[in-house]
Amino acid sequence: MENYSEDLDGVFQALADPTRRAVLGRLGSGPASISDLAAPFAMALPSFMKHIRFLEESGLIRTAKEGRVRTCSLERARFSMVEGWLSEQRAVWQARTDRLESLVLAREEFLRDQEKKEKDK
Amino acid sequence: MENYSEDLDGVFQALADPTRRAVLGRLGSGPASISDLAAPFAMALPSFMKHIRFLEESGLIRTAKEGRVRTCSLERARFSMVEGWLSEQRAVWQARTDRLESLVLAREEFLRDQEKKEKDK
DNA sequence: CGAATAGTTTTCCATAAGGCTAAGTATCAA
DNA sequence: TTGATACTTAGCCTTATGGAAAACTATTCG
């Protein structure tokens, strides 16, 4: 994927809003219609719809219309993008730790050598 | 925490930009100065500084100035906020799965009962 | 001291985000 | 067929974001 980074932008930004996170939380326990989802929020429907569209464009949810009702559902796979990024980060941290460790080991070895030479004198 | 949600907003939004993610990636392998961090980006310094301040306000990095150099370093603890949110979500999914499972089990039991009554007739 | 270095402050700009109201457009139900 | 339901579209407003240039401050080096 060449637009991996842009996708991440979208996913993280979608998650950067409490309304949208709440919607995702709700969808975690099963699909729901727009008005069901909107009910808990003191917000005009068109404003709420923007959040839904944002979530859909980020790929975190899917929506489908049947009759006059649009049903939204979670796209769980998309969440793994976040997990993926997190583990990349941890991998970098780990690599650093490993480098530091080998430095320490090298230094310890050096010190032992010094000591030995001192004794052999 | 009462501002847990706002903190999450900040963290996710900080992550929603490729420049900032790259900086975090770089800091993963150790602290660095502003100009070191800025070097890879074709961006005026003041623009870059905004990203640094954003990252600092989100709590994902710490910075300290010594002489004329400001050194930035990762605040790894902050990353666990994201992991925390992810596991909350997974917990919701799991709860749903459990409910569905018990429904299925209940239905199976019901069907067995029906069958038995049928036989006992 | 004087110049180069490393940030910092200020001001400006265009676009995106999040919210609103008002006015559509399709279903569905009586 | 009329009315209610369930969204949609369109337009408007304010604030936040990501970027830039110009000018300033504080260190450090020769």
Shortest distance, CA B44 to any CA of chain A (angstroms): 22
* Structural domains of chain B, count: 1
Q: Give A114 or B60, the one with higher predicted confidence.
A: B60
User: In this complex, do A13 and B12 lie within 8 Å of one another by their Cβ atoms?
Assistant: yes
pLDDT at A97: 85
Counted across chains A and B, CB pairs separated by less than 8 A come out at 77
In a domain, B17, yes or no: yes
How much is the average pLDDT of B6-12? 97
In a domain, B117, yes or no: no
Using a 10 angstrom Cβ sphere, with 0-12 exposed, 13-18 middle and 19 or more buried, the burial of residue A55 is: buried
Cα A40 from chain centroid (whole Å): 25
Q: Among A9, A18, A24, whose Cβ lies nearest the Cβ of B17?
A: A9
Nearest chain A residue to B84, by CA: A83
Model pLDDT for residues B61-100, shown as the tens digit of each residue: 999 999 999 999 999 999 999 999 999 999 999 999 889 8
In a domain, B73, yes or no: yes
* Mean residue pLDDT across chain B: 94
Q: Which residues of A are less than 8 Å from B3 in CB distance? A: none
Strand D proximal to A45 Cβ, under 7 A: yes
Query: A61: part of which helix (H) or strand (E)?
Result: strand A61-66
pLDDT in tens, chain A (121 residues): 568 999 999 999 999 999 999 999 999 999 999 999 999 999 999 999 999 999 999 999 999 999 999 999 999 999 999 999 999 999 999 999 888 787 788 888 777 777 776 666 5
Q: Give the whole-angstrom CA distance, residue A27 versus residue A40.
A: 13
Q: Among B6, B82, B89, whose Cβ lies nearest the Cβ of A25?
A: B89
With beta carbons less than 8 A apart as the criterion, state whether A75 and A59 touch: yes
Phi-psi region of A61 (alpha: psi -120 to 50; beta: other; left: phi over 0): beta
Of chain B residues 60-119, which have a CB less than 8 A from chain A? 74, 76, 79, 82-83, 85-86, 88-89, 92-93, 95-96, 99
Q: Give the whole-angstrom CA distance, residue A60 versus residue B47.
A: 30
User: Which residues are bridge partners to A63 per DSSP?
Assistant: A72
The full 3-state SS of B49-71, as one line of letters, equals HHHHHHHHHHCCEEEEEECCEEE
pLDDT at A121: 56
pLDDT over threshold 70, residue B5: yes
Q: What CATH code is carried by the domain that includes residue B54? A: 1.10.10.10
Contact of A22 with chain B, judged by CB distance below 8 Å, is answered with: no
Q: Look up the domain containing B41 and give its range.
A: 4-78
pLDDT at A119: 66
pLDDT at B112: 87
Cα A82 from chain centroid (whole Å): 2
In a domain, A37, yes or no: yes
Q: Among B8, B28, B79, whose Cβ lies nearest the Cβ of A96?
A: B28
In chain B, pLDDT over 70 holds for what percent of residues?
98
Secondary structure E strands in B8-106: 32-33, 61-66, 69-74
In a domain, B92, yes or no: no
Identify residue B74 by its one-letter amino acid code: L
With beta carbons less than 8 A apart as the criterion, state whether B36 and A97 touch: no
In a domain, A14, yes or no: yes
Structure tokens at A100: 């530091």
pLDDT at A100: 77
pLDDT over threshold 80, residue B33: yes
In a domain, A72, yes or no: yes
Buried b (16+ CB within 10 A) or exposed e, B25-46: ebbbeebbbbeebbeeeeeeee
User: In this complex, do B28 and A82 lie within 8 Å of one another by their Cβ atoms?
Assistant: no
Q: Are strands A69-74 and B32-33 parallel, antiparallel or unpaired?
A: unpaired
In a domain, B71, yes or no: yes
User: What is the three-class DSSP state of B39?
Assistant: coil
